[in-house]
Amino acid sequence: MTEVSRTVGVPPDRVFAVLADGWSYAAWVVGNSHIRGVDPEWPSVGARIHHSAGLWPIQFKDWTEVTALVPGRMIELRARLWPLGAGTVRFDLTATSGGTRIVMGERATDGPVALLPGVMQGLLLRARNHEVLRRLADLAAGRPQP
């Protein structure tokens, strides 16, 4: 699994509030362009976000599903983007003296990208995932205190 991390100056509940808002997904997930729907039970295990990725007019419609959840601390997702493949993405949130340490791990599990060795997957994912965390941190910092 390729991991990146970032420490942000807000408490874990503010970061988790962004992760729990399925409609915000396209604002922080690099490559997603449009949210078509969010299951009402999001972020419960089994709930899905229905999204599109790519640039108009070429967009792929797919979904992301919650596979594991510890509210306020961890969410694990199965993210699909066919024809490229699917993967597991996990966010772990740890309170620090100044805010929250976010660790994001991602691994391709199906499709053509999963055929790449882990080192190659890491090269493809690391820069993108640093940007994902930067966007997530910005949204969490701008979100009102719950």
| Model pLDDT for residues 95-109, shown as the tens digit of each residue | 999 999 999 999 989
Q: DSSP secondary-structure letter at 137?
A: H
Reported in sequence order, the residue ranges of 9-98 that DSSP labels E, i.e. its strands, are: 32-38, 48-55, 58-70, 74-81, 85-96
pLDDT band at 18 (very low <50, low <70, confident <90, very high): very high
Residue 123 Cα distances to 49, 90, 107, angstroms: 27, 18, 12
By DSSP bridging, strand 85-96 and strand 74-81 are antiparallel
Q: How far is CA 76 from the centre of its chain?
A: 9
What are the structural domains of the chain? 2-142 (3.30.530.20)
Q: Is the dihedral of CA 97, 132, 43, 77 positive or negative?
A: negative
pLDDT band at 146 (very low <50, low <70, confident <90, very high): low
pLDDT of the residue at 111: 84
What is the pTM for the complete model shown?
0.92
Rounded Cα gap, residues 141 and 146, in angstroms: 12
Report the range of poorest mean pLDDT among 34-38, 70-74, 119-123. 119-123
